[in-house]
Structure 1
Amino acid sequence: MRTEDIVNAEIELLTAIKNADVAALEKILHDDLLFNLPDGQTITKEFDLNSYRSGKMKIDALEASDQIINIIGDSAVVSVMISLKGTYDNNAVNGTFRYIRVWKQFGESPKVIAGSCIQLH
């Protein structure tokens, strides 16, 4: 696993999120993914995909910065700041969030196996 592979995988992931591309997210997210939301709720891949499928989650703008990537064997830990503007279930979701994501190599492509985010402001 190389840093540039994860940089590219992160770009693919963020593009899929922006475009609500469920087919791409299906490939990028591991089936056993666990993700912690800022409110403390832990969600699964299926919950996440359903929020895009149903149209509940809408992203108007998303910008990544301050990315740190640590490669550890066949895994990578990514810390990244995301400025987000959008809605979830018609409620505004605006702010800056710090995400941590864990990617693991499966065959040809890495998949997100875990993550968490906190709201900064």
Structure 2
Amino acid sequence: MTKADILSQENKLYGAIKDRDINVLEELLHDDLLFVIPSGAVITKEMDLQSYRDGNLMIRNLIPHVEHLNIIDDTAVITLTLELKGNYGGDDFESKFRYIRVWKAFSSGIKVIGGSGMIVNV
């Protein structure tokens, strides 16, 4: 696993988020994923996918800015800011978020196993 591999996976993830592509999200997110969303709630892979299936989350614009990317054996940790415009639960939003995401290599591919996101004051 290289930094280029992780950046490629990140780009694939951004596209899947914007396109609400459940199949690609299903492939990229590990079944045991745990993620802390900006409200502080902890969600699972299924909860995340359900928000896309239900149409609760729609991202119209996504601009990533990678800050750090560390490879540790078969695991990668990336921090980035994302400028997001979209709609959540019927409410439009436009905010900058900071994320940390943990990717791990498996025989089935490189998958997100955990992370967290929070709003960043600009």
TM (norm. structure 1) is 0.96
Are 2:80 and 1:80 aligned?
Answer: yes
RMSD: 0.9
Count of matched residue positions in the alignment of Structure 1 and Structure 2? 121
Quote the Cα distance in structure 1 between the aligned partners of 2:66 and 2:85. 18
Unaligned regions of 5+ residues in structure 1, if any? none
> Map of 1:33-112 to 2, 5 A cutoff?
33-112=33-112
Unaligned regions of 5+ residues in structure 2, if any? none
Q: 1:21 maps to what in 2? A: 21
Q: 1:30 maps to what in 2? A: 30
| Seq. identity, % | 46
CA contact (8 A) 2:66 2:78 kept: no
TM (norm. structure 2) is 0.96
Quote the Cα distance in structure 1 between the aligned partners of 2:67 and 2:4. 12
Q: Give the secondary-structure state (helix, strand or coil) at the position aligned to 1:27.
A: helix
Q: Deviations over 1:72-97 (max 9, x none)?
A: 00000010110000011101232000
Q: Deviations over 1:57-85 (max 9, x none)?
A: 11110000133110000000010110000
After TM superposition, give the deviation of residue 108 of structure 1 in Å: 4.9
Quote the Cα distance in structure 1 between the aligned partners of 2:56 and 2:37. 16
